[in-house]
Chain A
Amino acid sequence: MTKKTTGRLKESAIRAFFFACGVLAVIALLGIFATLISTSFPAFKDIKLSEFLLSKNWDPTSPEMEEYGILSMIMSSFIVTLGALLIAVPIGVGVAAYLSDVAHWRVREIVKPVVEILAGIPSVVVGFLGIVLFAPLISKIFNIGHGLTALNGSILLAIMSLPTIISISEDSLTAVPPAYGEASLALGASRWQTLFRVKLPAALSGIIAACMLGMGRAIGETMTVLMATGNARTFPQLPQALLRSVRTMTANIAIELGEVPYYTAHYYALFAIGLVLFVITFVVNLVADVVLHKYQEREL
């Protein structure tokens, strides 16, 4: 009987240990959130929240008048990300459709790991290639002084978010019940029509989620944009902005955190940018998650 009790105790202890490891994920997420909030909070003793979010001017080291407006950076982040999605979504969904519906399974077996290789290239290497490969090309094509522009960043981020978009879109296309496609083919539709009119709409929520996840990754990407977009502190005006230098939120943190004196308004303001970034990516990922889940439940 005592052996039995100690046995049970041991089982519960082991269970509790694994549970603690599982709960750590929740604690980590809350911890990051709490840290960002508590560290950005002091910033708003000196800076008005409305100025922070709505002013276009960011000049924390100005001798006369320090300015803390991040609207330009928010806009820059969005423009670069939007550009990336405009490039990556059609190509990514196209590749996914090709893999799921056209390609021989052998091609698929080879291409999928190859796409994973693309996902494995470190962002700093992608940024480096942006400097040495794409930027000179852009400067030549558009006849501008240098190619370190928003467009350059968009192209690179598109390349980086492609693997996410491809693999999740492909999964959701493959998850469409075969009966849908068969029904359409039986009515005399071609494979192309079936793919376009039946399968893509049926997989739409998964594809949207894939694009959102790709977007989340692009907004939060740091090294690539830091290296490849020139980092000029100006407010981006569309459409010229694509061919100008921009400074995103992530790049700004990376540039200034190394040089900022600790525990100043500027220091706290950088954490506040981090908080804004966290909230944006959190919302994007959450929406993607909800969309993806809805669609998975429907499949079940």
Chain B
Amino acid sequence: MNATVVLAGNPNSGKTTLFNELTGGRQHVGNYPGVTVEKKQGTCKCDTGRFEIVDLPGTYSLTAYSLEEVVARDFLVDEKPSMIINIVDASNLERNLYLSVQFMEMGLPVCIALNMMDVAKKRGIEIDIPKLSSLLKLPVIPIVARDGKGKQALMAAVTETVGQRPEPLRISYGRDLDAALDEMEALIRPAEFLTPQYDPRWTALKYLENDQQIMDRGYRQDKITAMKLDAIVQRVRIHIAQTLDTHPEGIIADHRYGYVHSVLKQGVIRFFQDENRIQVSDKIDRIVTNRFLGPVIMAAMLMGLYQFTFTLSEAPVAWLEGFFGWVSAMAEQALPDGMVKSLVVSGIIDGVGGVLGFVPLIMFMFFGIAFLEDTGYLARMSFMLDRIFRMFGLHGSSVMAFIVSGGIAGGCAVPGVMAARTLKSPKERLATLLTVPFMNCGAKLPVFALLTAAFFAESQAQVMLLITLISWTGALLVAWLLRSTLIRGESTPFVMELPPYRLPTLKGLLIHTFERIIQYVKKAGTVILLISIVLWAMMTFPGLDENQTKAFDDQRSLIVSDLSREAVDEVMTLEDEKLTQAMITVKENLLQVDADQAGEALKNSAAGRMGRALEGITRFAGFDWRTNIALVGGFAAKEVVVSTLGTAYSLGEVDPEETGTLSERLRTAEGWGPLTAFSLILFTIFYAPCFVTVVCIAKETGSWKWAAFSIVFNTGLALLVSTVFYQVGSLVLA
């Protein structure tokens, strides 16, 4: 037997665990068409057949409240799966069945997988499964998703009932609404309004529920019928407001819950203790969300996550660096000097290395986040921080993305932007992922370290703290600005479940982590490689012309003119210790010519020309063309600002970790002072995210528009802040 089956259910009902159990990790992650909601698919092979399983997003209802609900509903209507496996949390039966009832109202074939029977038992809940099954007229199979118990029975039941089309469930919604539904159904049927996709009575119900999505569709298909239906709804609405002082939506929800309640009351469920009795979870919450202890524990958890990620990823990052260094060196030797070599070494190998360099970070970060999410702690963090983040138009869940991106200095915006996925509300999510790049990621730190060492050597720690405060303030204010202009709109309701604390399964965590990595490498990898090559070309071409190159060659010839051929070879190959003082001077002179040439070539490159052209604007912020080139290079990765400054100041390649000579050079360079340095620090905090982050923003928002926005807006903001600071500073100090 071959069939497509969907897996649906409430969030936190064990849906993902069951999905992993059924598909055994052989799964494929994509997106639902046109939206950024994840679509997981996998194959379940069992004794009775082969099933294609689609994991619907977890929802509490199908009322099109959130994007997830819209997606779930559209999928059910458009794809008409041959079966819904509805996972239901036995310890939370009433609320879970509220969703099942809505599937049944749509006339979809449902099989209930009753999960967490063990938890229910512990809480003194007893469920009469045959009775539930006969009252709902559908199969109900007890399972334990965590260890796969009941999986065979579930799939056997699915095989048996698959493809059957049950009659849609009819619930009575009270006299007024039932009459209106009858009247609307009588209009819908002959007009073939929105049929056959939707059941006529279901369409009528959605009209009464004031469901904008269905109403828009109806209006587009058949204006006349749509308007007639609207008129009926209006009439009922007014009547109900006058007689019952409520809305049709309210009555519908009441009756749906009423139906569930009446089913359960017929001896399906028995409580041996008060269902709202204090559970272990509640006891933990008393400590963990306590007014005083809560914030302390939260800070410790965040620090812990941070330590975990950045400590553990240090070694693999170093291995990767070492590996790519080795590949680079091999290529360096194997290829003849010239453009091809430069492209391979600086463009391709560095590009691939750049893509993969983030993998260990993403791996450990998402393992940590998935752990916090699956235990239920993440929801508590949102709960505690919501009040603060809401003031800026964000959401309690935004905190994770900010911390990961470098809220505690040294994070990375790439996993940060990806961490914004834990936010279910689209507007808050967008505002979050557009502002997290302002945090101080690990790559900005060498830039800050260089500048503070050169100009604020006595108060480095205080300046670093100031930088952290500025980036948080800036990010929150920009979020607030965006939420009051471009992404304006009511804040998404915080009506959220605090799931009971649970110990996550290692399998679940690993699958989640590897999904993230594969997605990153597949989706972002190719684009990142491409941009890396473009940036390389910008920093390389058009290069120096023949005359200029010849001038540098002449300088070299002059330096070595009174040395023999063998002596020159010795200078170039031997260690410093084996050379005489005179020969070391020769070598230094030669290296200086190389550095000068590199500096000149950079000045002449496309990036260099851009830097010089922009000097007219940036000098108001205190930046000359050298700084501009460095900032252009910083778009590749922020630490490149340091090495490019080195090249621009003819110091040759500067290692971002070893900036002693460069800070020395900057201290004495013309046009540099504490004012310029701090202006550059401000600019570095706020300007365009590195392109890996930009690509991730594009992938996460599903639109290059927001990626472009983040480049243009952030750079504009940075220029404004730096210029104002520099100008005011110059006035004050003058």
* A and B pair up: no
A residues contacting B by CB (< 8 A) are none
